[in-house]
Amino acid sequence: MSIRATVKSVLGEKNMKVLRRLKRRLAGKGTKPSGLEAISNDLNKLALHFKTDKWGTHRYTQHYQRHLQHLKNDSFNLLEIGIGGYNRPGQGGASLRMWKQFFPKAQIFGMDIQDKSFVDEDRITTFIGDQSDPSSLNAVADKIGELDVIIDDGSHRSPHVLTTFATLFPRLKDGGIYAVEDTQSSYWPEWMGSEDRDAPNTSMAMLKRLTDGLNYEEFVDENYQPSYTDLNVVAVHFYHNLVIIEKGRNAEGTNKRKALKQRYAKS
């Protein structure tokens, strides 16, 4: 009798299967992941699984994958404004569950004007808050602590988007990501936007001004005083109905005095 046959007769077929699985695992041939584990690296598929409109109705998750992939296995805090479901009992929380699955070490927080505490579970915590009220936003931020990622998927009304950004962006960690979703509402008067694309008080107007601020060091107005966002926004990415902002120290310097010798020879 061969050694293999002898071992099989001693261990039995069931134990032999366990032994073969162990051998494959040790050889780097582990069994293929299944279920949620099999799609945990693909935000598009996770969005479909959890039925969040970040993929399907919208095309956001492909962009989030690009901008947040570097945090995949990090421990950090993510806050999403707006949990979904409006005031319908038991509705909402799909994207929070998606973020939890995609970021296995992150703490996921959600804020909504409605009570969404039914969504709470391990690594998901919800708060009641009003994004139009700075004190409410700050109270939630105080409870969370350090903010690494902020996603505004709240009311989508321009005044609320502006208030939320002005309040929470300064509290975002350097190197953090701030996202504003559903910016189409900026063009809709019915949603507190404006059909005038040059209207100064819409969410898109504010976001577009950030792109000028990226280049504040190139302004030739010697009296210009850079704003907080001028100094702390290093990139702004515009997609269809989604804007993603990267925070960091914006002070690369300028060659304008060399390039504009005639202008600066006067001073």
Active site residues: 156
* Inter-residue contact 243 to 161 (CB < 8 Å): no
**Calpha distance 223→120 (Å, rounded):** 50
User: In DSSP terms, which residues pair with 80 in a beta bridge?
Assistant: 110, 151
User: In DSSP terms, which residues pair with 239 in a beta bridge?
Assistant: 242
**Calpha distance 143→59 (Å, rounded):** 31
* Identity at 2, one-letter amino acid code: S
Cα 120 to Cα 43, 84, 101, 107: the distances in Å are 21, 14, 14, 11
Running DSSP on this structure, what letter comes out for residue 201? T
Token pair for 54: 């970040």
**E-assigned strands of the chain?**
77-81, 107-112, 124-128, 147-152, 172-181, 233-239, 242-247
Count the neighbouring beta carbons within 10 Å of the beta carbon of residue 94.
20
**Calpha distance 72→105 (Å, rounded):** 8
Running DSSP on this structure, what letter comes out for residue 29? -
